[in-house]
Amino acid sequence: MSSFLPRLLRTVTLACACVLPVAGAHAERDDTRYAAAVREGRVIIYAVTDERIARPLLQDFERRYPGVRVHYEDLNSGELSRRFLDEAARGEQPDIVWSSAVDLQVKLVNDGYAQPHRSAETAALPEWAVWKNEAFGTTFEPVAIAYNRKLLAPAEVPTTHAELLRLLAQQPERFRGKLATYEPSTSGLGFMLHTQDVIANPVVFWKLAQAFGRTGTVTLASTTGMLDRIASGEALIGYNVLGSYALLRAHDDPAIGVVLPRDYTLVLSRIAFISRGARHPNAARLWLDYLLSHEGQRQLAQNPGFFSVRDDVPEDAAATELRRQLGGAFRPIPIGPGLMTYLDQVKRRDFLRKWHHTLFPVP
């Protein structure tokens, strides 16, 4: 799998080069809805997706739908959830909520904060990427192992979870303080990825956690923090890194390498929903359909590491190749109530207690 990734990045680059917007073109649209959206004038989006990544998407939407401006708030996952709930309590809600902390998104939907939406675009999504016609997967993002390409020889790079365990057992001193992963108590995304990892393979996950404890793993709140440490050589390996950001960084930084484990690779899809209290509901439906459309998916897939969630976007050759290469290792995280398992306060407390006792044992 590791040898495939440089080819994957090249494939993404070539695929993106083929996607050229047609001046003056507009996506197919319901003119009645579009007219209503123009009367509303704008759509308010709270998102975890970096604004620099989303910017071409936002610009293309405004070009295709003149008269509908996008107000985009770039937040981290924990901040987004807290702000949304605080504002909802005051009767204020954004129109769209779009986040990679999919468990928090599903909980908001489950608690009645979303409204249903059905269209040709939502019908084109895979079954695992839709829940209650209210929560919609918008991307295809693998969960990866990142590493420093200059400090790890190709033969040393672990391509499975078992190989990572063996590497840490064989060279504990070399990796002391040189591993990085999310701190689940401060990163909503990290908490979700770690707990989904427990569900996928609890025995391996807790064995890795024990190895992390023995080697003094550094836990961080953000993907950027992990990748910065790997790029500088402060860390050699990052575990459970969000692959989209890792692949995007690797595209520009030769120090960063990325592996999608060939025993199993979790794949998440950023969830978007329309707020039940949306102040611009027609503009919100217009935006969501654009995001899920061929045009929106192609725009998003121009970022290395971001793949189309749809199977019928032919220009995203990288996503097709990635699915083929992963084969039986492809483990999409289904959007649904199962994501809320560890949001139960008792389960969350117990997980975090076990995590901290395992990684930071008291002598």
Residue 331 lies in a domain: no
Q: For residues 64 and 119, state if they share a domain.
A: yes
Residue 123 lies in a domain: yes
- Separation in Å, CA 119 to CA 35, 73, 101, 238, 302: 17, 26, 24, 39, 24
Domain residue limits at 88: 19-138+269-314
Q: For residues 210 and 347, state if they share a domain.
A: yes
The whole-model pTM stands at: 0.81
Residue 321 lies in a domain: no
Q: How confident is the model at residue 307 (pLDDT cuts 50, 70, 90)?
A: confident
Q: For residues 43 and 115, state if they share a domain.
A: yes
pLDDT digits 0-9 by tens, 44-72: 999 998 898 899 999 999 999 999 999 99
| Residues 63, 92 contacting (CB under 8 angstroms) | no
Q: For residues 263 and 152, state if they share a domain.
A: yes
Q: For residues 103 and 251, state if they share a domain.
A: no
Q: For residues 74 and 220, state if they share a domain.
A: no
- Could you tell me where the beta strands, DSSP code E, fall in 150-236? 179-182, 218-220
pLDDT digits 0-9 by tens, 8-48: 443 332 223 222 233 333 444 568 889 999 999 999 999 99
Residue 8 lies in a domain: no
Here the CATH number for the domain that contains residue 207 is 3.40.190.10
Mean of the per-residue pLDDT values of the chain: 88
Q: For residues 158 and 108, state if they share a domain.
A: no
Cα gap 215→179, rounded to integer Å: 8
Which of 143, 141, 100 lies closest to 319, judged by CA?
141
**Which H or E run contains 48?**
none
Q: How many CB atoms lie within 10 A of CB 277?
A: 16
329-233-156-158 Cα dihedral, nearest 10 degrees: -20
Cα gap 144→106, rounded to integer Å: 23
User: In sequence order, which residues have a C-beta less than 8 Å from that of residue 65 and are 6 or more positions away?
Assistant: 26, 29, 34, 37, 38, 286, 290
pLDDT digits 0-9 by tens, 348-360: 999 999 999 999 9
Q: For residues 167 and 65, state if they share a domain.
A: no
Q: For residues 27 and 116, state if they share a domain.
A: yes
Q: For residues 289 and 350, state if they share a domain.
A: no
The token pair at 253 is: 């930084």
Residue 203 lies in a domain: yes
Residue 77 lies in a domain: yes
Number of domains in the chain: 2
Q: For residues 251 and 352, state if they share a domain.
A: yes
